[in-house]
Amino acid sequence: MNGNFPIMRAIARIADIEEANSRQAQSRVAPALRLVVCIAAILLVSLSRNAAFVLLLIAVELVRMALLSPERIRRIVLRLPLPVLMTALLMLPAVFLGSPRSMLTVTMKVFCAVLLLAVLNEKLTWREVTGGLAALHLPPLVVLTLDTTVRFVVLLGRYSDRILEAVSLRRVGRKNWKNAATGGILGTTWLKSQQMAQANAEAMTCRCFAGVYKKRPNLAAAKDRKKELTANLAYALLLPALLVFFFYSQGLV
């Protein structure tokens, strides 16, 4: 694409990342449980009044990150600098106002929270996240909206990428083709999105959908479900472990 339209290219690339994620071996731990533990960890990091708890979590997450593939590690590392630098910048006045430790603590907490989310993001696909949210009894309409949104982002990203390719193959001798074509591509993509939304709604209606997005049936075999249960129980133990260490590190026990 010769470096043109970086936003469109980025959107189209979501498809590849999602595909790569969905091809990884599926974890036996329930996405809902992963979400709960991650949210609890972020909350405890926010509430923590000293560095011990935060540092421990950073260490654990770095170990988990190290077990991932190089490509995934690269993606996580690329996500970290911006929020951390922004926080450091915003907290900079604290140093001059005589409270340098505040800057360090807050920046470290942000680093830990972003790291937790980035690792979670690599462990779960978007559809697992929405599945997890459904299992946590989020309103079905919200889950349906999230599911449909990501699907459309992927499909429309791919669609606009195809048009972009067609445009670049036909650009001959016109320097400002980019400006002329952008409106056309966006307009066509918008029209396509409307058509797709209508076809999608009709397909759902034809398969007896009456407005209630039910929880997805568990299609795992009974044997696999036993293994899943064991893995979930083991993972669930992380929650009390986190709480115990949090209270211990805060000197509350």
Partner 1 sequence: MQMDEIIRCQDVSFSYPGSGEKALDGVNLAIPRGCCAVLEGPNGCGKSTLFRILLGLDFPDRGSYCFDGVQITRKNMKDEAFAASFHKKIGFVFQNSEVQLFTDSVEHEIAFGLDQLGLPEEEVRAKTEQAILEFHLEKVRERAPFHISGGEQKRTAMAAVFAMEPLVIVLDEPLSGLDEEGQDFVRGLLKKKRDAGTTLVVATHSRELAEDLADLRIRMDRSHRIVDIG
**Cβ–Cβ under 8 Å, residues 243 and 38:** no
219 is a contact residue toward partner 1 (CB under 8 A): yes
Q: Which stretch binds partner 1 (CB under 8 A): 6-14, 33-41, 112-120, 193-201?
A: 193-201
Kindly state whether residue 24 participates in binding partner 1, applying the rule CB under 8 A: no
CA Rg value for the chain: 23
Tally of CB atoms within 10 A around 114: 20
Residue 115: closest CA among 88, 87, 76: 76
CB of 60 to partner 1, least distance (A): 29
Could you tell me which stretch among 14-22, 28-36, 168-176, 230-238 binds partner 1 (CB under 8 A)?
14-22
Place of tokens 């942000």: 110
User: Which CB sits closer to partner 1, 8 or 112?
Assistant: 8
Does residue 250 touch partner 1 according to CB under 8 A? no
CB neighbourhood size of 41 (10 A): 23
- Binds partner 1 (CB under 8 A): choice among 52, 95, 136, 204: 204
Q: Residue 7 or 210: which CB sits closer to partner 1?
A: 210
Of the pair 165, 202, the CB lying nearest partner 1 is at 202
User: What is the footprint of partner 1 within residues 99-128 (CB under 8 A)?
Assistant: 127
CA distance 57 to 204: 44
By CB under 8 A, which span of 63-71, 164-172, 194-202, 233-241 interacts with partner 1? 194-202
Helices (H), 124-176: 126-135, 140-170
Q: Which of 9, 14, 15, 106 binds partner 1 (CB under 8 A)?
A: 15
CB 26 within 8 A of CB 231: no
Question: What single-letter amino acid sits at 157?
Answer: G
Q: Report 129-188 residues binding partner 1 (CB under 8 A).
A: 130-131, 147-148, 151, 154-155
Contact predicate 5/182, CB 8 Å: yes
**Residue 25 beta carbon to partner 1: minimum distance, rounded to whole angstroms:** 10
Residue 47: exposure state from Cβ atoms within 10 A (0-12, 13-18, ≥19): exposed
- Which residues of this protein are in contact with partner 1, per CB under 8 A? 15, 18-19, 22-23, 26, 127, 130-131, 147-148, 151, 154-155, 195-196, 199-200, 202-211, 214, 216-219
